Amino acid sequence: MENSKCFKTTGEFTLTDNCRMAIDVNSSYFVSFDARSIGKEQSAGYFFIDCFDKGLNSIRCVDVNRKLQFPAVKIVGISDDRKILSIEEETTEWDSYEYNRLALYLDGDLEKLPLREGLQDQKIVKKSSTEIILLNPLASWINIRLNETKARVHAFSASYVYPALCGQCIPFEWTHYEATVQGEIFSISHTKFRPGTQTIRFGFLANYGQSGKEVEMVVKNFKFWESKYSF
């Protein structure tokens, strides 16, 4: 079909050809497209924006989705096997199910992004009033500054910003989707970039969670304002 893209499988389809686009978070970015389902069942889809900091690290939900009612704690000691962190503050238990990822602020500044590397698999097994127990040891290169470094519990959830289309079932007739993204925020939002965003990539998560089903989605008239990427 002319001026359109058809997604017949479940997967992530990046429209930026694996290149990152430089953006200014103070400018407005407008995404617009038309989509419809053409399979036997309605497709479910997302339009995603993946945000990257100046170090080319993807800024994940785990970095920004802070469970604020569970206060940050100061680290005062670490075990020889680097799996137990002793803490100063006496606080309530942290939720060990949905919110079970450790975030570290090495210099104690909670208004910055936490340590960006080495924590992907740092699950919290248990937190008491005096210590945090990890499933795996901290990497040896992570320099915990005793009485300065702070820890916070974070959520582990979806990775991207989802403006315009966020998991909806797409009708069989052509449907228009659009959204504006501007600014940055230190929380989960689908209309703002992640804090510290310098570059982005974007595309579609097509037929999401529908592997093995007879689903197919078509997108046409795609535009991303201030971008050369269109079809």
- Homologous superfamily in CATH for domain 4-60+158-224: Galactose-binding domain-like (2.60.120.260)
Give which of 73, 42, 11, 46 is closest to 179, Cα–Cα. 46
Cα 201 → chain centroid: 13
In this model, does residue 17 exceed pLDDT 90? no
Domain boundaries, the chain: 4-60+158-224, 66-156
Question: Is the backbone of residue 150 left (phi > 0), alpha (psi -120 to 50) or beta?
Answer: beta
Spatial distance between the Cα atoms of 30 and 124, rounded to a whole number of angstroms: 39
Report the 3 state secondary structure along 2-50: CCEEEECCCEEEECCCCCCEECCCCCEEEEEEEEEECCCCCCEEEEEEE
In tens, the pLDDT along 133-157 reads: 998 899 889 999 999 999 988 776 6
* 95-128 residues labelled b (16+ CB within 10 A) or e (exposed): eeeebbbbbbbbeeeeeebbbeeebeebebeebe
Lowest model confidence (mean pLDDT) among 111-115, 137-141, 153-157, 161-165: 153-157
pTM above 0.85, yes or no: no
